[in-house]
Structure 1
Amino acid sequence: MRSRTFGGTARAVPVVGQGTWHLDQADPAAAIATLRAGLEAGMTHIDTAEMYGEAEPLVGAAIAGRRDAVFLVSKVVPGNASRAGVVAACERSLKRLGTDRLDAYLLHWPGRHPLAETIAGFDALRQAGKILAWGVSNFDVADLDAALAIAGPGQIACNQVLYHLQERAIEHAVLPWCQRNGVALVGYSPFGSGDFPDPRSPGGRVLARIAEAHGITSRAVAVAFLTRAEGSFTIPKTARPERARENAAAGAITLSPKDLAALDAAFPRGPRPRSLPML
């Protein structure tokens, strides 16, 4: 599994991690077994959120006894992102996760509370040792500029954004901004929302051909493509241990320039949208 420095944290984090959105809809035992299979395969970055229902307790059960080996991330919803609200929400997440700290804590998307208040809450949590770093999610360039102006350089650990083969909007401006400012870019929903390319489609055939050449799955090819850029990470979600191991295999693959060109042609990024896509 390839690892990269996660923003300004100085932590080496695997390029492929584990998402947990809707994981609480799976059988709990299967969900926990899948997370543990992912950890054993090297996907030690686990992302969750207070908004994800019962996902946090499932994560807590999966990492019990191995917390120090995990890069653990959770997120606060904007409605709880006042200075005091951030602290209270984090305490609740820590309790559900059964841990005393998060490696990174993110604002889930921009909201009504002043960003300066949210960042002040993050700083209070960091000073108390409850979080080691903080970041943002679903932030476009203007939002990132605002956060940088308040916090200063080196403080924003990451920006978590929608990123898959058929939704590459972040490559226009958000990814370059993150690279210039030393902010990790974490792509969520790397397989789309139930619309992963059909193997009979032109793009699906390109994926299958590259997958066969590397001895991996088409989904693993997609993951390898989405983590090709310096500073980029991805967090696929699954409730099947065998799929978790397939996802992890992508972390050891380096696609050739020919592979990258073929995928770029099959899944063009398209024009820059007026607003940042998100789920």
Structure 2
Amino acid sequence: MSSKSWASIGEKACSVFSGWRSTKYTGGKAPLGFERTHGRWHGRWHDWRTSDSADEKRTKNGRKKDKEKVAMIQNLQDAVVLNNGVKMPGLGLGVFRVEEGSQVKDTVRWALDVGYRHIDTAAVYGNEAGVGEAVAASGIPREHIFITSKVWNGDQGYDSTLKAYDASLERLGLDYLDLYLIHWPVKDKYVDTWKALLSLYGDKKVRAIGVSNFHIHHIEDILAVGSVVPVVDQVECHPRLVQKELKSYLKTRGIWLEAWSPLMKGNVDMPLLVALGKKYAKTPAQVVIRWHIQRDVIVIPKSVHKERIVENAGVFDFSLTEEELDAIDGLNENHRYGSDPDNFNF
């Protein structure tokens, strides 16, 4: 018997059952046990019916369409909600190693023109001034652009972090940052640095605070000194470094994982990624960005080329299946292109 025939029978059964109830108990409520049984039976029928309907949906090539959860963002300006209620665009532009001056100003201008509303910089990048100039020249209201910066290692410590924050604001030409991060967990300093961020946040000088390159034990250390939980942990994350354990931990704490070097420094020409790109008429880089988004990872790919900036934003007109997401997860080798947060010397 076809699914449609079973569906018809089920609907008639629900109708008969409901009619019998209304006839038998006219003028009053049915017994509680009856209501529970009827509700439970009808609910299970509805679940079966909708599940079957979902299974019958077909893609253009005739294959069954996999059931997929809704991606964390649906467009370039869509935002995730951080654990303090602040909204942060889930896809942004990173400006690591983008030269101060015309290069960074052009890069940020192109991104804002395309529709990006999330710019990630840092004191050590040496381009905060150019980022600020591009933002000011865009004509876009300040509150519509989410800007992140970070305190560098040499400025860590309580008092020096407070001064570093003010210096970043001055270079950016801003009154506040949307997000301020500890760039790396400098031994014997990152806890005091976190206390400074707590002070900035408590004084409402910054909308949200977080960390970067923190392992689980680093986060546990700072959680011991205050009630504020970091909103993000910005770490190296890509198909060769999936960060499954860290991500699971962060989820239990309500902390978003944000990926730097999300495109593996351009090393995306892996057979699986190329094949998926051909399937969806996308580049391997677009496949990887989509993978991040569907895995609930905030992502900030960097480029100084206008066409690549546009391309990186073109990831909202296709979806990867769960099997494809799992296959990309399977590329993990725990391989780092950058330094290990437990072993760095800068």
Task: Judge same fold: TM > 0.5, yes or no.
Answer: yes
Runs of 5+ in structure 1 lacking a partner?
A: none
Bigger shift: residues 254-263 or 68-77: 254-263
Pairing partner for 2:171 from 96, 106, 112: 96
Secondary structure at the aligned position of 1:13 is classed as strand
Q: CA deviation at 1:253?
A: 4.1
Letter in 2 for 1:29: S
Structure 2 CA distance for partners of 1:174 and 1:44, relative to 1, 3 Å: same
Pairing partner for 2:304 from 230, 236, 239: 239
Q: CA deviation at 1:167?
A: 2.3
Aligned sequence identity (%): 29
Aligned mates of 1:251, 1:95 — CA distance in 2: 36
Runs of 4+ aligned structure 1 residues displaced above 4 Å come to 269-272, 275-279
The answer to whether the aligner puts 1:192 opposite 2:264 as a matched pair is yes
**Residues 146-225 of structure 1 aligned to structure 2 (within 5 Å):** 146-152=221-227, 154-168=228-242, 170-171=243-244, 173-194=245-266, 196-198=267-269, 203=270, 205-225=271-291
What does residue 50 of structure 2 align with?
A: none
Give the CA RMSD over aligned residues.
2.4
Runs of 5+ in structure 2 lacking a partner?
A: 1-74
Per-residue CA deviations over 1:45-91 (Å, capped at 9, x if unaligned) read 111111112x2112112211332211110000133121111110011
CA contact (8 A) 1:82 1:114 kept: yes
CA contact (8 A) 1:162 1:188 kept: yes
The answer to whether the aligner puts 1:52 opposite 2:125 as a matched pair is yes
Structure 2 CA distance for partners of 1:268 and 1:118, relative to 1, 3 Å: closer
Structure 2 CA distance for partners of 1:251 and 1:41, relative to 1, 3 Å: farther
Count residues in correspondence: 263
Structure 2 CA distance for partners of 1:180 and 1:239, relative to 1, 3 Å: same
**Residues 60-79 of structure 1 aligned to structure 2 (within 5 Å):** 60-64=132-136, 65-66=139-140, 67-79=142-154
Per-residue CA deviations over 1:166-212 (Å, capped at 9, x if unaligned) read 222x21x2111111111111100112235x133xxxx2x32222223
Letter in 2 for 1:5: V
Structure 2 CA distance for partners of 1:252 and 1:9, relative to 1, 3 Å: farther
Aligned mates of 2:313, 2:303 — CA distance in 1: 12
Bigger shift: residues 238-247 or 209-218: 209-218
Per-residue CA deviations over 1:232-256 (Å, capped at 9, x if unaligned) read 2111111011111111112554311
User: What TM-score comes out, normalization by structure 1 length?
Assistant: 0.85
User: Higher Cα Rg: structure 1 or 2?
Assistant: 2
CA contact (8 A) 1:140 1:174 kept: yes
